[in-house]
């Protein structure tokens, strides 16, 4: 497929196997600059595998992918300088304060304006009151917010959010949605994987549904609902994925492919 010139991520014929299991069988899609893109799929469909390839943590067996016009295999270091990745579980140091976690990330990224950026992010993520508290005292939602704040410390062009609201209560999930919208409004391209179809419907400019190793459908939420003559994204997903979609809208399972 051809990719538009304003795409910040381009994926062509991506294939990946683990031993005898072929997880990706020829995946194609592109992500437009400044958009919120949601990759959907059942447990084990390969969403995390794609994120790991795009963030240079895993090499594809075949096909190609570029991020910010750099090849993820041949220009891995340049890709890493322009992206940030937040996994399913908050990667924060519980013994440090929120402010210390941010400052540490700034030092690791060799930033010049660490103090200024730390204050900006504490304010943006509503963590100013908890800035000097040890992270071990934070709630799950606060840890998640700090984790994403840390990933924004270096002002990435693309942020990968792999299941960002897994395990959060409804209030914190809605707060995370606001953060995602705010990041996109500031020009960051957000690549989101989620098992919550309502989340994709609420946030995403563009959706791709991964099923049996290929992209089964992609487009805007409204476009997909029109094409499949369904009233919700969940109905579109069930129509495409069928019996493989066991309780996907409600499940919070963890997975590794």
Cβ proximity of 104 and 154 under 8 Å: no
**What confidence score (pLDDT) does residue 253 get?**
37
More confident residue, 252 or 155: 155
For the residues 159-187, what does the mean pLDDT come to? 89
Residue of 158, 157, 141 whose CA lies nearest to 51: 158
Residue 215 has pLDDT above 60, yes or no: yes
4-8, 110-114, 148-152, 252-256: the lowest-pLDDT one: 252-256
Give 54-90 pLDDT, tens digit per residue. Answer: 999 999 999 999 999 999 999 999 999 999 998 666 6
- The domain spans of the chain are 91-155
Q: Which residues of 16-49 are buried (b: 16+ CB within 10 A; e: fewer)?
A: beeeeeebbeebbbbbbbbbbbbbbbbbebbbbb
Give 92-151 pLDDT, tens digit per residue. Answer: 899 999 999 999 999 988 889 999 999 999 998 889 999 999 999 999 889 988 998 998
d(CA 226, CA 221) in angstroms, rounded, equals 9
Residue 34, phi then psi, degrees to nearest 5: 80, 5
- In eight-state DSSP terms, residue 46 is S
Residue 254 has pLDDT above 50, yes or no: no
More confident residue, 112 or 248: 112
Residue 11 has pLDDT above 50, yes or no: yes
């Amino acid at each position: 497929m051809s990719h538009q010139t304003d795409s910040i991520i381009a994926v062509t014929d991506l294939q990946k196997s683990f031993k005898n299991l072929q997880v990706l069988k020829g995946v194609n899609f592109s992500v437009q600059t400044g958009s919120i893109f949601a990759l959907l799929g059942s447990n084990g469909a390969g969403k995390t595998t794609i994120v790991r390839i795009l963030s240079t943590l895993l090499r594809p067996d075949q096909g190609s992918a570029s991020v910010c016009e750099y090849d993820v295999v041949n220009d891995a270091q340049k890709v890493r300088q322009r992206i940030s990745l937040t996994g399913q579980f908050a990667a924060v140091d519980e013994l440090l304060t929120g402010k210390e976690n941010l400052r540490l990330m700034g030092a690791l990224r060799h930033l010049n304006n660490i103090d200024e950026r730390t204050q900006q992010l504490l304010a943006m993520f509503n963590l100013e009151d908890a800035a000097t508290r040890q992270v071990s005292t934070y709630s799950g939602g606060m840890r998640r917010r700090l984790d994403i704040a840390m990933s924004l410390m270096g002002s990435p062009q693309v942020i990968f959010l792999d299941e960002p609201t897994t395990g959060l209560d409804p209030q914190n999930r809605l707060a995370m949605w606001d953060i995602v919208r705010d990041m996109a409004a500031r020009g960051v391209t957000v690549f989101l994987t989620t098992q919550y179809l309502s989340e994709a419907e609420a946030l995403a400019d563009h959706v791709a549904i991964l099923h049996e190793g290929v992209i089964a459908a992609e487009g805007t939420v409204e476009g997909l609902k029109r094409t499949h003559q369904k009233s919700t994204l969940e109905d579109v997903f069930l129509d495409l994925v069928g019996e493989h979609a066991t309780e996907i809208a409600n499940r919070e399972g963890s997975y590794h492919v």
